[in-house]
Structure 1
């Protein structure tokens, strides 16, 4: 059941829509496109023998060879295109089909393959027919002709141009349909990922042990109320359910968490960022989310192509969109602070009480762009950073290698961190780290050019090495509301006060304990 929520900001309405998950790849099924061909090349293949004779993907018949103005109302505007290697999908259909099943994806592989074959057939048959017709007309025009015959050939040329316009439109529609279906195929999956649903996920590490309390404990909801730190009731009146006001020391606690986290990850080589919090819906899609799906987690801006971000992963992923990076710049490591907005469609029950599942929150997100062969090691680095941060705060937590059925479409592999929340009486997710390999970069168009080396002598145009897609990884360093849950519930004292963990004290203006307010 979809949850109906709205936000009003300056007369602009943000509606809930539904979000689907996203995965990762082997070296990924999303490989480079073959070069597109112009109509001139297709009709005169011998003029440029070094180019491929057939495009993998066709917006191929739009060319300077026949100068034609297409009426604006007949122009088919194509959607953005991912660099999907359909030939690889076709050649590895058994593995791709198994991956789709293991990830519980609704992608239709057979339809994708059918559309791909149709596209190839239309290109081959129609191009050959048009080439033959053009040759006939061209040969006839060489000879001496009566004015009437020449006029007839001119009319045939015009007819050919109209046929080309129609073919162009058909190919664009077919290409867009193929792209739409193929973009639903999830990333391939790391061979060590357990196959199955969430209950098949594997424990990687358990850190610490639950604190033993010698008094009746409270959950963060009650603690926040008793200490005048959180106001859910006023926020519900102002904005609706799942919103909140942080007050008094809770505001200092949020700022301390953010500043401490950023300072820690900067020491590990990450560049701090603040990001736009409204982005184009196409960027959301290219990162692997569906902003207009049935149960999307994304708020869309009505009457526009923009969305509120659900994570800084999206705007950070877009920083280098459609660019070729110098290899020496890699890896690029970012730590982005942003507010995040999620519809939380379908979320209900006691597990969502208080701050655990809210529509708006602050977060610090780590994001890495790297060489393909390095992404596995950076994935381990990211989960290691998360473990260090949470250990230093004294949390009892576990890290989990998530099963295939619980991976989002972009993720090749994902590690979750769940911390003990004594007031809730259970572990709750506080972080995750995902290796998306080249799933996102093939959609965002982020490549790098390897530097020449004796081990990589292959050169492309102009003696330059051919470009490759970078791999992208993301990990949550600090999701503020769930960190506050852990801090309040684990550091509560019998007198109702909250002790500030040692690492945060320098960022709390000297405050060491949050005490009850005098009435």
Structure 2
């Protein structure tokens, strides 16, 4: 959530942010009114409590009619204090409810618009010219079947659509990707983490995934727990309700976890293969930093993602995601999109978001800087979303006979294997 003082001091900036996101601008005025009610009810409660305490000191010393009058007034005050307390609690709850619906303030440099209004910042590598090489590229699913690596038919039989099995070299390729990604992150100073896949409502809501993103979340009603769509959630909540010494910052974690997404609203999109699925594994980078270091850390996370994709020898572009596609928590987001030959376009493989103080305020994560205690900033960055990375690897590194060249960076994690070779005609 944003700082209420910022809302009071510069409501036009918050309105502009909401407008850029395509969200309800009227929410800002509702929140201003609720905050005013919260503050005035708090003042009223404090005044009545103070009067009640003073009266309580006078009653034991009074006698006769004076005491009777004080007792009568004490009774009136008791009722008034209870009413003021209820009013205050209601005002606080309403303010928090509205504040929780307000998205983070977008960075002024973010392009305004929807999903297709991003800005391309950089293009790295050149897509292969398969026509010049004399063959038509196969898509990742056909390659996966040839390699005995991907089985979506049995995935659908066992679990339904958008589920799959990785077998043989497919399973080995996932393990190689995860180990290589963790090795890169560890070398960069991240602490490797295996995180819970189930989290409480507080953790899910605190990271901003129970607002506009709630339709994509799996909820276990009996236990009131949520399956995470990214290890960003348990990593963000790792220091929930804690105060971190500023001298220990930055804190960087690399989480590996299964991820679960309903993919609501994507009916008919990416139904073939494993590009868009309900369950997948992912390595996620997460940073806790001082707010003034957030932009520099965001740039570092992007560089680590670019380093990773470059090591996999994939052509990709970097985009500055538009305001309407940011998600509630992010003030700015960069995506790295790899070229997918059979689709003839770039598709998202990694993403990094600067959430400033938004998540930290909701989760109660603060830093002690000298005598001052204040919220810190959180940032996240996908290093390897396994299925999509497998899609890009198979399609970009395929050969005419259906074999797939293994990038040099992955070979140590695949027993030195240079090729993935077909096992079926």
**TM-score under structure 2 length normalisation:** 0.93
Q: Structure 1 residues 518, 118: closer, same or farther in 2, change over 3 A? A: closer
User: Is 1:91–2:9 an aligned residue pair?
Assistant: yes
2:235 is matched with which residue?
316
Is the 2:285–2:383 contact (alpha carbons within 8 Å) kept by the matching residues of 1?
yes
Which whole-Å CA distance do the structure 2 matches of 1:321 and 1:294 have between them? 21
CA contact (8 A) 2:41 2:87 kept: no
Deviation digits for residues 426-465 of structure 1 (CA, Å, limit 9, x no counterpart): 21100111111111111111111124xxxxxxxxxxxxx2
1:34 corresponding residue in structure 2: none
Partner of 1:173: 90
Alignment-derived partner of residue 243 in structure 1: 163
Question: Which region of structure 1 is more displaced relative to structure 2, 345-354 or 375-384?
Answer: 345-354
Contact 1:106 1:184 in 2 (8 A): no
1:27-426 to 2 correspondences below 5 Å: 30-31=2-3, 85=4, 87-106=5-24, 108-129=27-48, 131-132=50-51, 135=54, 138-139=57-58, 141-145=60-64, 150=67, 153-154=70-71, 157-158=74-75, 160-213=77-130, 214-290=134-210, 296-426=215-345
CA contact (8 A) 2:339 2:347 kept: yes
In 2, are the aligned partners of 1:141 and 1:153 still within 8 Å (CA)? no
Q: Which residue of 1 aligns with 2:417?
A: 511
Contact 2:290/2:376, CA 8 A, preserved across alignment: yes
1 CA distance for matches of 2:243 and 2:344?
Answer: 49
1:469 aligns with 2:375: yes
Q: How far is 1:498 from its partner? A: 1.3
**How far off is 1:150 after superposition?**
4.7
Looking at structure 2, the residues matched to 233 and 394 of structure 1 have their Cα atoms a distance apart, in angstroms, of 30
- Following TM superposition, by how much is the alpha carbon of 1:129 offset from its aligned partner in structure 2, in angstroms? 4.9
Q: 2:387 corresponds to which residue?
A: 481
Match of 2:367 among 439, 448, 452: 448
Distance in 2, matches of 1:410 and 1:295, equals 13
Report the 3-state secondary structure (helix = DSSP H, G, I; strand = E; otherwise coil) of the residue aligned with 2:240: coil
Matched residue count? 421
Superposed displacement of residue 319, structure 1: 1.0
Report which stretch shifted further, 114-123 or 308-317: 114-123
Other-structure match for 1:77: none
Relative to the length of structure 1, the TM-score reads: 0.77
Indicate if the aligned counterparts of 1:316 and 1:367 stay in contact, CA closer than 8 A.
yes
SS of the equivalent of 1:241 reads coil
The alpha-carbon deviation at position 180 of structure 1 amounts to: 0.6
The aligned residue for residue 43 of structure 1 is none
**CA shift at 1:152, angstroms?**
7.0
Q: Determine the C-alpha separation between the residues in 2 that align with 1:516 and 1:136.
A: 88
Distance 2:221 2:76 in 1: 43
Question: Cα offset for 1:229?
Answer: 1.2
More helix per residue: 2
CA distance in 2, matches of 1:417, 1:504: 20
Unpaired runs of at least 5, structure 2: none
How far is the alpha carbon of 1:500 from its aligned partner? 1.2
> C-alpha distance in 2, partners of 1:294/1:396?
30
Q: Which runs of 5+ in 1 are unaligned?
A: 1-28, 32-84, 452-464
Change beyond 3 A, Cα 1:333–1:133? closer
Change over 3 Å in CA distance of 1:134–1:331 after alignment to 2: closer
**In structure 1, C-alpha distance between the alignment counterparts of 2:53 and 2:407, rounded to whole Å:** 79
Residue 241 of structure 1 and its aligned partner are, at CA, apart by 0.8
> 1:166-211 CA deviation, whole Å, 9 max, x = no partner?
3322321221111111111111122221222233321111001111
Matches of 2:13 and 2:247, distance apart in 1: 34
SS in 2 for 1:199: coil
Q: Distance in 1 between matches of 2:123 and 2:424?
A: 40
Does the aligned pair in 2 maintain the 1:370–1:472 contact within 8 Å? yes
Say which SS state the counterpart of residue 122 (structure 1) adopts: helix
Secondary structure at 1:349 match in 2: coil
CA distance in 2, matches of 1:165, 1:338: 48
CA distance in 2: counterparts of 1:289 and 1:430, whole angstroms = 20
What is the Cα deviation at residue 504 of structure 1? 0.7
Give the whole-Å Cα distance in 2 for the aligned partners of 1:419 and 1:182: 37
| 1:471 Cα offset (Å) | 1.0
Cα distance in structure 2, aligned partners of 1:500 and 1:283: 39
